[in-house]
Every structure is written in C-alpha cells, then in structure tokens.
Amino acid sequence: MSLVLIAALPFIGALFPGLMIRAGRNACAMMTGSFTLLALILLLIEAPAVLRGEVIRNQISWMPGLGLDANFFLDGLGLLFAGMILGIGLLVILYARFYLSKNDPMGQFYTYLMLFQGAMVGIVLSDNILLLLIFWELTSLSSFLLIGYWKHLPEGRQGARMALAVTGGGGLALIGGMLLLGGIVGSYDLSVILQSRDVIQASPWYLPALLLILLGCFTKSAQFPFHFWLPHAMAAPTPVSAYLHSATMVKAGLFLMARLWPVLAGTDAWFYIVGITGLITMVLGAVIALFKDDLKALLAFSTVSHLGLITMLLGFGTAEAAVVAVFHIINHATFKAALFMTAGIVDHEAHTRDIKRLGGLRHLMPITFTIATIAALSMAGIPLLNGFLSKEMMLEEAAHTDVWVGIFATIGALFSVAYSFRFIGHTFLGPKRHDYPGHPHDPGFGLWAAPAFLAVLVIGIGILPQTLVGGLVATTSGAVIQGELPYYSLQLWHGVTPALFMSVIAVVGGLLVLSQHRRLDAAWIATPRPEAKTIFDWLVEGIARMARALTDALHDGAISRYLMIFAAASVIMGTVAFMGGTHTPGTHSLLPVSPMAVVGLGLVVIASLGVVLFHRNRLLSLVIISVNGLVISLGFVYLSAPDLALTQLTVEVVTIILLLLALNFLPKETPRQSSSGRKWRDGIVACLSGLGVGGLVYAIMARDLAFESISQFHLDQSYPGGGGTNVVNVILVDFRGYDTFGEIIVLGVAALAIFALTEALLRGPASRRLLSWVPDQKRAGDRHPLMLVVATRVMMPMAVMVGVYIFLRGHNEPGGGFIAGLVVSIALLMQYMASGFAWAQARQRADYHAIIAAGVLIAALTGVGAWFADRPFLTSAFGYFRIPPMDKFELATAMAFDVGVFLAVVGSVMLALASLSRLARRAGETVNEAAMDIDPSQETEEAR
C-alpha cells in the first residue's frame, strides 16, 4: 500500500504546521518538510521497479457499485510528476521558511501548501478517473487559498477568485468529459481506459468528450484564451508562484493531456485543437512577456508560453513530439522554479520587482545573479544548458510538422530569447544604481540554496542529459505513448539540421528585438488591445446580473410557485416519456373492492377536496387532515399492517396536538393570495400531476416487476437473521437500522430547531409582540377542568405500562420503540394539556435535551458494538437464555437500539411541546396556582 501512503502523507502533514508553529518557525518547517521527504523517499524506493518498466498498483474497494474505487498506480508518467511535485515541493518548503516574514502566519501557509501538494500527488497517482476528479477539484480549492494567502492585498483576493472561477469552471467541463469517457469504455479505471483507444475514437461521443476534457486541461494549464488568470495569480507569495509554475497546478493540465494521449491523440480534431491552441499560446505568451516590467509577471507569461510549447508538442500527435514534450516538462520545471525563486530574492532584498527600478544588481548580489543567469539562459535555449536541448528538439518537430508551424515556433523561440535576456540584462547588468527602494544584497544560504540546487540540475542535465535523465525520459515517454519508443537522441549536437538554423535565427533575432525594446515598448503601450482582466470582470459582472435577475424571477419566496414549476416540469417530462414509448397492457387483474374500502376511499377523496376548498380556515383544515390520517390508519389495518396503523395513529395524535398549540399564535384564517387565473392554473397542474402519479402507480401494480423485490428476503430472514417474527420491526432495527438511526437524528434536530426558534422569539422585538398579544377569541374560564385533570393522572401509569408492553413485544408482535415512544409522549402530552405547563414542568426530572442525546448515543453505541465482533455498523445479534425458574427467553441487541429510538422520540416530542408551551406562557396565558397545588417558589427555572 505504498502508493496510498505516498498520496496520504501530504494530507497528514497538513495537520501539523498549525500545531508546530508554536514550537518555532524552524520546527514548523522541519515537520512539514519531513512528510514531503518521507513521501519522496517512498517514491524513490518504487522508482527502480518503474524504471525497469513495471507498473505498481494499489487498489482499495470503496464504492464498487458506482465504479468509484480508491485505485492508485505508478508508471513512468506518474513517477516523473510525483517526483517533481514532491522534490520541488521540498525545496519550496525550505525556501518559504526564509522568505516569509515574521508577520506571515507560517503554519497556515504550510497547511495550505501540503493540502495542495496532496491534491497534486493524488491526481498523478490515481487509477480511477472519478478519484482523479476529486483531487482535481481539490487543487482548485487549495490553490485558491494559496493565491489569496495575503488576504490584505486586493490583488491577491482578485487573483484567487479569478483562478478559482476559471479553473473551477473548467473542472466542471472536465467532469462531464470524464463521465462521457467512462461511459464509452464502460469503466472508470484509467488502466482500462488506456487500453480502449479504438473504442473511444470510434464512438460518436468522442468529440464531445474530447472538447470537455480539453476545456478542463486548457483552463488549468492557462492555454489561450484562458491564459489571463495565471499572471494575476502572481499576487501570491513567491514560494507559491514557484511551485504553481514549475511542478504543480498548471502542469496538471499537461499531465492529463499526456495521460490520455494514447487514447485521444492521433485524430484531426486532436491535432487542430491542441496543436493550434498550444502554438497560439506559445507565441502570444512570449510576446506579452517581453513587455512586462514586473519580474514575476514576465516569468508568468513566459510560463504561459512554455506551457503552450508543451501543449503544441502533445498536439502534434506523434511519438517523437511526445518524447520532446516529456523532456521539456523536466527542463522547464528546473529552470522556472529557479527563476521564480531568484525573482523572489530580488524582491525580498531590493523591495521591488519593477525592472525599470532595477539594474546593476550583479555587483551587489553576485550569487543571485549567477543562479538567475544560468536559469534564464536555459529558458532562452542557450547551449550547454538543459533548455537548449529540448528547444532544439521542439524546433525539429515543428519543422517536420508544417512550414507555418515551424515559422511561428521560431517566432515564439525568438521572443523567448528576448525576454530571457531582458530578465538578465535589465535586472542585473548595467551600472549600479543609488535609488533602489531597499539595500539589495545576497541573502543567507537558506534563501538561495534551493534555486542553486536547481541551477546545478540545469547545467548537469544540459551537459549529461542521457546520464542524468535518459532513463526517466524513456520510461515516461513509454508511459505516454503506450507503445514502442521512436528513435531520439539526447545530445548537444545533432548536426546541421533545420532546427539549428531556426535556433540561430531565434537567438540573433531575439537579441535584435531586445536592442529595440525601448521603441517597441512605446509602440506596445500606444497600441490599443483588449485587456483580459477587463473582459473577465465584465463577463463576471454580466453573469452575476443575469443570475440575480433569474433568481429574483424564480425564487421569490412563494412555495406555490416552486411546487407549480416542479409539478409542471414533472408532468411534461412524464408525458414526453410516455408518448415516446410503447404501451403494453398490464397482466394483473383488479382485486375485488369491499364496501368498507369504497367508504374509506371516498372519505379520503372528500377530505382532500375539503382541504383544498377550506384551506383558508386553518383549524378546519387541520380537522379535515386528521380525518385523512385516521382513514389511512384504518387502511393499514385493512391491508394487514398493524405496525403501520399504530404508528400512523400515534403520529397523527401527536402532530395534531402540537399543530393546535402552534396555531394558537396564528390568525385563524390565511389571507387570500391567489387570483382566479392562478387558481385555475394550479388546479389544472394539480389534477394532471395526480392523474400522472395515479397512472404510474396503476401501471406498476398491474405489471410484473422487472426486478426481484427484496421483500421476500426480509420475510425469509426476519426470524433466522434478525431473531424476530415482526418483519417491520426487524427491518427498522436490524436490516435497515442505519436508516432509522438517521431518522431519529433528524427528529432530534427538528426538535432542537423548534427550541432554537422559540429562544429567538422569547427575546427582542418578538418577545415584546408576544407580551402585547391579545387572543382574538374569548377563552374558557376553566383552563384545567377537574375531570380531565383526574382522568389524565389516573391514565398516566396505565399509559406508561402500555408503552412498555408495546416496546417489549415489538420484535415479534406489532409495536417497537418508535410506537412506544409516541404512546408515552401522548400520555405526557395529556398531563400538559390537563394540568398546565408549569405543573407538569415542575415535576419533570430529566432534561429533554439530555433525553434526545441519550437516545442517539445509545443507538450509536449499539451500532459500534458490532465492530467489536468484526461486523458492519448496527449489525444485530440475538440469543436465547434461561434464568430459573423462568422459561427460555430471547434477547437481541436490537432491543438496545430500540431503547435509543424510544428515548429520542420521547425527548423530541416533549421538547417541541415544551418550546411551544413557553411561548404560550410568555403570551400571557395565566396558570391557576390553586389547581397546581404547589407553591410558585417551587417551580423550576424552566417553568418560570
């Protein structure tokens, strides 16, 4: 399970920086780096096997029914990207320790960084595209936190929002494309998808899937026209910029294009979309970079250009171009991370990144100058450095592809030379200045160690490419191509080739362009051109206005409109589905209907019509609704479902009583709100909906099911599997106990919500309105009739005894914890109704909140107990016991779960009643102290 651990270590590491920062900045950085280092070591342990051509796999079954498994695999491509993510991540952690000021919350920074690192590692190691999508979206969220790390900077917040909007939108498109891809193949495992090239490209869904996937890749990798977000992400601290631009985030899109290259590449659509997009991005990014005065902005647009270069190579669709793309990914990671780090050093020491305020820094910062020069010359493609090798190979592939492609690739390389030499010349060369905002000097070893290490790699790979990265390039290219490697040579001299002439033109032309930079810059400034940020802001504002208009039009707070739209849409879709299908008559004949059933159905219809006609009279509507509930209870009895009948009857009593108490504070009639036209509209929609649902139910009942019902399993296994003959109760507390567990939690939350609402009403303006509230009808003089008081007190112990009896018999006869809880709740309700809230509350010995909590806790502990027997949560066990002189009897763990249900139901009902009763007392309802037969000083605090 080494791959699982590699993917998990960064997330585990994210838990510690917030704690370790209390031990000091060094301890925080060391603890953070240790997790990245450990993950890198585990990766390097697997590297020899991968370099031999093996594929390491770890599989965890998660949700196989949905095709979502936590499957990981490591091949050459995953090894390259995971190595870059962890290796450069380790250098960034070191660099950030000395870059961040004492005012920056370092623990928070490292937490965000490790979350981001873990998401990236998850992407490159995932063998399941659904799992990959989870990590993909997590990179967008964590990069949002990193880019907006300096929350006090408006440009930081703006850049974070822009990055999230663009990459998040592309992520939604990617989700659609990946689902289409998985649907085409019939599997969501990448290892299966990568073997299905012919099936994918022959599918009519290939082009839609390709477009959606490329949209996700282009937005993440800042390809035209989505390139604008990346430069604005430069508002992040330099360690973030170095990480995003070299090994993570923007490389995610390149990784996914390379990963899916075997099955998506090779078609005209791939060539024209990917190749042309990459070429445009390469040239456009290089041109814009030349005219940027901010060091990080220049490097940001240079990243855009080089990302376009790699995208263009992948778009060519040839194995040779894929090899070059892999090689340049390695080279770009080394020199670009070093360049961003040196730009951060300049900003850190000179207190500015404005090139026009710099120059002559070679005299003051010789170490930084040396590192930056090596990295920038590699970016320009100067010999003896790694960037030269991959640039030459890129030009060779461009020349072989098309004449115009070769021309534009040369133009892109020309401007790359120009901005690279501008980075060196305008920042470090020239005379020393005396108006630097700060006092520039080389920093301590901790700040330049990481870029220096990368500069050594730049030189080493440039001189000994085959020795240092030859095997990695071959293995990674093989993973991308999924076939035999073409011939290629990683060497400095390839002879006199078209690429050599193109390279000479690029270098000479770049120097000539740089010599005319002042004039060109003035012309650039004077030339009108669209600003991507302005366009983005305009689009966001326009979309927000449209969304607000649509929201205001549809979501006006009227539930009648929501229900009408939902019902009408359901009717329309059902009609379309019915008209587009074939109708087969049902095979089941109607059962005979008894006169009593006709009467019951008639009462239901009449009561339903009564609710519609008299809905404005709230009390009458409630009475009519109770008629429906009673008839439904009788219907359950008629259909031999006594458990459901008992539940329905008790629920009906409790809800009617609570609703009556709630209606006490509301007007007795609702205002007229619907016009005649709206009534007709709603009536027609309601009738059509009712007919549609009725027809659907009839069609299902009149036909044989297309699937085997699980009902027979429950009937067969109720006793041998659950130890009970009451199938309904066994289902509730055993087979589907998790559903019941969720339901009692929801019930408790609902009671707590009523309590919280009551608390709000008992304070502030609402409380004053309650105190001044006057009943609209005359109240009875005898609030607590003596006969009712005596009757309820006599009935109380008998009702509790009945509740206990129903509870104990529930596993084998109609009953159970839910019904027993309702029966006891009704008995307690009657005490409140008969003797008053204060009298009943004064004799309460348990807090209702605690009763709810105890019920949920007991139910949860019952479920957890199954784990100790190595069984799934809430698995029930039962057995038979004999205690002399008693006869043999059965005990089941489901009884403990039922106790939790019982307590949760009682606590929830009584908390709701107590909350509403407190409103009644605040509203001025008096209590007959004589009838209570207690001294007011003995009332509980709650009663007062």
pLDDT in tens, 852-868: 999 999 999 998 888 88
Six token digits for residue 520: 């060109």
Provide the number of structural domains found in the chain. Answer: 3
Residue with tokens 């799934």: 872
What is the per-residue pLDDT for 559? 78
Whether 941 shows a pLDDT value over 60: the answer reads no
Q: Which residues pair with 358 in a beta bridge?
A: none
The amino acid sitting at 769 is: R
In this structure, how many other beta carbons lie within 10 angstroms of the beta carbon of residue 754?
19
Q: How many CA atoms lie within 13 A of 428 on its CB side?
A: 23
Bin 438: left if φ > 0, else alpha if -120 < ψ < 50, else beta.
Answer: beta
Q: How far apart are alpha carbons 104 and 929 in whole angstroms?
A: 65
pLDDT digits (tens, 9 = 90+) for 796-855: 889 889 989 999 888 888 888 889 999 998 888 888 888 877 777 777 777 889 999 999
Q: Which residues pair with 189 in a beta bridge?
A: 128
Q: Higher confidence at residue 235 or residue 340?
A: 340
Cβ-contact 931, 787 below 8 angstroms: no
> Which of 387, 397, 378, 383 is CA-nearest to residue 498?
397
Return the ∠ at Cα 327 (arms to 75 and 94), rounded to 5°.
Answer: 80
> Which of 918, 830, 840 is CA-nearest to residue 653?
830
Six token digits for residue 34: 């240790």
Six token digits for residue 229: 């977000």
What is the per-residue pLDDT for 78? 92
Q: What DSSP state is assigned to residue 732?
A: I
Q: How far apart are alpha carbons 887 and 730 in whole angstroms?
A: 23
SS3 658: helix
How does strand 68-74 pair with strand 878-881?
Answer: unpaired
Six token digits for residue 460: 């080493």
Cβ-contact 70, 60 below 8 angstroms: yes
Q: How far apart are alpha carbons 554 and 566 in whole angstroms?
A: 12
Whether 675 shows a pLDDT value over 60: the answer reads yes
Mean predicted confidence (pLDDT) in 379-404: 90
Mean predicted confidence (pLDDT) in 134-160: 88
Phi, then psi, of 126 in degrees rounded to 5: -70, 135
**Are both 409 and 504 inside the same structural domain?**
yes
What is the per-residue pLDDT for 563? 85
**Are both 435 and 535 inside the same structural domain?**
no
SS3 879: strand
What is the per-residue pLDDT for 922? 61
Cβ-contact 880, 939 below 8 angstroms: no
**Are both 438 and 537 inside the same structural domain?**
no
Q: Is residue 163 part of a domain?
A: no
Q: Which residues pair with 617 in a beta bridge?
A: 669
**Are both 459 and 531 inside the same structural domain?**
no
How does strand 878-881 pair with strand 889-892?
Answer: antiparallel
The amino acid sitting at 95 is: Y
Q: Decide: residue 271, CB within 10 A, 0-12 exposed, 13-18 middle, 19+ buried.
A: middle
Q: What DSSP state is assigned to residue 888?
A: P
Cβ-contact 856, 904 below 8 angstroms: yes
Q: Which helix (H) or strand (E) covers residue 891, if one does?
A: strand 889-892
Distance of CA 841 to the CA centre of its chain: 46
pLDDT digits (tens, 9 = 90+) for 510-527: 999 998 988 998 888 888
Cβ-contact 146, 108 below 8 angstroms: no
Six token digits for residue 179: 């689902």
Please say which residue of 515, 543, 566 terminates a domain.
515
Identify the band that residue 776 occupies on the pLDDT scale cut at 50, 70 and 90: low
**Are both 325 and 404 inside the same structural domain?**
yes
What is the per-residue pLDDT for 933? 38
**Are both 458 and 542 inside the same structural domain?**
no
Cβ-contact 89, 159 below 8 angstroms: no
Identify the band that residue 914 occupies on the pLDDT scale cut at 50, 70 and 90: confident
**Are both 535 and 507 inside the same structural domain?**
no
The amino acid sitting at 815 is: G
Q: Is residue 56 part of a domain?
A: no
Query: Could you give the maximum distance between any two Cα atoms of the chain, in Å?
Result: 114
pLDDT digits (tens, 9 = 90+) for 241-267: 899 888 888 889 999 999 999 999 989
pLDDT digits (tens, 9 = 90+) for 439-474: 888 898 988 999 999 999 999 999 999 889 989 999
Whether 940 shows a pLDDT value over 60: the answer reads no
What is the per-residue pLDDT for 761? 74
DSSP assignment of 45-110: HHHHHHHTT--EEEEEEEEGGGTEEEEEEE-HHHHHHHHHHHHHHHHHHHHHHHHS-TTS-HHHHH
**Are both 480 and 496 inside the same structural domain?**
yes
Identify the band that residue 380 occupies on the pLDDT scale cut at 50, 70 and 90: very high
Identify the band that residue 878 occupies on the pLDDT scale cut at 50, 70 and 90: confident
In this structure, how many other beta carbons lie within 10 angstroms of the beta carbon of residue 536?
19
Cβ-contact 91, 453 below 8 angstroms: yes
What is the per-residue pLDDT for 937? 41
Q: What is the mean pLDDT of the chain?
A: 86
Whether 943 shows a pLDDT value over 50: the answer reads no
Whether 334 shows a pLDDT value over 90: the answer reads yes
Distance of CA 683 to the CA centre of its chain: 40
What is the per-residue pLDDT for 657? 83
Cβ-contact 12, 35 below 8 angstroms: yes
Whether 505 shows a pLDDT value over 70: the answer reads yes
Q: How far apart are alpha carbons 215 and 226 in whole angstroms?
A: 9
**Are both 489 and 542 inside the same structural domain?**
no
Whether 419 shows a pLDDT value over 90: the answer reads yes
Phi, then psi, of 673 in degrees rounded to 5: -125, -20
Identify the band that residue 932 occupies on the pLDDT scale cut at 50, 70 and 90: very low
Q: Is residue 315 part of a domain?
A: yes
The amino acid sitting at 385 is: L
**Are both 511 and 386 inside the same structural domain?**
yes
Lowest-confidence segment of 234-238, 272-276, 599-603, 775-779 by average pLDDT: 775-779
The amino acid sitting at 643 is: D
**Residues 6 or more apart in contact with residue 319 via CB below 8 angstroms:** 477, 481, 483, 485, 486
Whether 764 shows a pLDDT value over 70: the answer reads no
What is the per-residue pLDDT for 212? 94
**Residues above pLDDT 90, as percent of the chain:** 38
SS3 557: coil
SS3 149: coil
pTM confidence score: 0.70
In 527-568, which ranges are E strands? none
Whether 871 shows a pLDDT value over 70: the answer reads yes
The amino acid sitting at 560 is: S
What is the per-residue pLDDT for 768? 66
The amino acid sitting at 659 is: L
Mean predicted confidence (pLDDT) in 616-637: 88
What is the per-residue pLDDT for 835? 82
CA distances from 437 to 300, 350, 364, 443 (A): 23, 6, 14, 16
> Which of 378, 206, 226, 393 is CA-nearest to residue 316?
393
Cβ-contact 931, 789 below 8 angstroms: yes
What is the per-residue pLDDT for 643? 86
SS3 2: helix
Cβ-contact 437, 314 below 8 angstroms: no
Q: Is residue 671 part of a domain?
A: no
**Residues above pLDDT 70, as percent of the chain:** 94
Mean predicted confidence (pLDDT) in 687-707: 85
Mean predicted confidence (pLDDT) in 596-624: 87
Q: Is residue 98 part of a domain?
A: no
> Which of 182, 200, 3, 10 is CA-nearest to residue 89?
10
Q: How far apart are alpha carbons 379 and 303 in whole angstroms?
A: 10
Q: Is residue 441 part of a domain?
A: yes
Tell me the residue range of the domain where 312 lies.
Answer: 268-515
Q: How far apart are alpha carbons 256 and 276 in whole angstroms?
A: 18
**Residues 6 or more apart in contact with residue 405 via CB below 8 angstroms:** 275, 279, 312, 398
Six token digits for residue 316: 């060519």
Helices (H), 586-675: 595-613, 618-638, 642-663
Residue with tokens 């990590």: 135
Q: Which helix (H) or strand (E) covers residue 881, if one does?
A: strand 878-881
Mean predicted confidence (pLDDT) in 192-209: 91
Identify the band that residue 934 occupies on the pLDDT scale cut at 50, 70 and 90: very low
Q: How far apart are alpha carbons 840 and 877 in whole angstroms?
A: 39
What is the per-residue pLDDT for 407? 92
**Are both 533 and 409 inside the same structural domain?**
no
Q: Is residue 701 part of a domain?
A: no
Q: Is residue 9 part of a domain?
A: no
Lowest-confidence segment of 17-26, 173-182, 570-579, 920-929 by average pLDDT: 920-929
pLDDT digits (tens, 9 = 90+) for 38-65: 999 999 999 999 998 889 988 887 767 6
pLDDT digits (tens, 9 = 90+) for 650-671: 888 888 888 887 787 777 777 7
**Are both 788 and 812 inside the same structural domain?**
yes
Length of the chain: 944
SS3 483: coil
Q: How far apart are alpha carbons 928 and 944 in whole angstroms?
A: 14
SS3 504: helix
